[in-house]
Amino acid sequence: LNDAFESITEGNEKQWSPDLLERTARHEAGHAFISYKVGIMPKYATIVARGSYGGYVISDNEREIHTYDELLDDICIALGARAAEIVCYGRRNGLASGASNDIRQATEIARRIITTYGMDEGFGIAAVFAEQLSGATAEMVRDIENRILSAQLERAVSFIENEKALFDKLAKALLDKNRLTKDDMEKILVSE
């Protein structure tokens, strides 16, 4: 049923090489694993490539308001795939273009923390509008964004390094089955 639904909404499945599928499984397992580590159990994960994506993870992450720590968790989840690839392939080879949308999403959250939500003590509480983001203000925002993103990337790397065997088990299950439900992931992650 999932396959039929995804075929209709997103297009036919793309056929990828075993190496690319393995990398995609680690990438998506990174999102799912970090989501689990910050207390949000993923509902679904797939590495079946269709349309413009190679896979995706859906998590129970629907909040009306977001605290500072929850926003940092959201950044950590977004960067979980990059972290997984760094842990699995090294600091240099773990940098791949597949994380571009994740990085964009994480950067947008970091920017809202700084310029919209007034949550960065160093920057201050005042909102900053797009037309004000130039010169020294833009540089300051970019520096703070990078500080936030770097800290959350390292946090995600630590989560995966500290429980690499459990992460590998999740990635292997995703590679073997191509998709995992919440129940599948709970059996892997919670039963440990």
Known catalytic residues are 28
Q: Going by C-beta distance under 8 Å and a sequence separation of 6 or more, which residues neighbour residue 163?
A: 33, 37
Give the CA diameter of the chain.
53
d(CA 82, CA 150) in angstroms, rounded, equals 11
d(CA 28, CA 56) in angstroms, rounded, equals 6
Distance between start and end Cα atoms, the chain? 30
Q: Which of 152, 59, 137, 63 is CA-nearest to residue 107?
A: 152
The two structure tokens encoding residue 72: 């940092």
The sign of the torsion formed by the CA atoms of 188, 29, 66, 43 equals negative
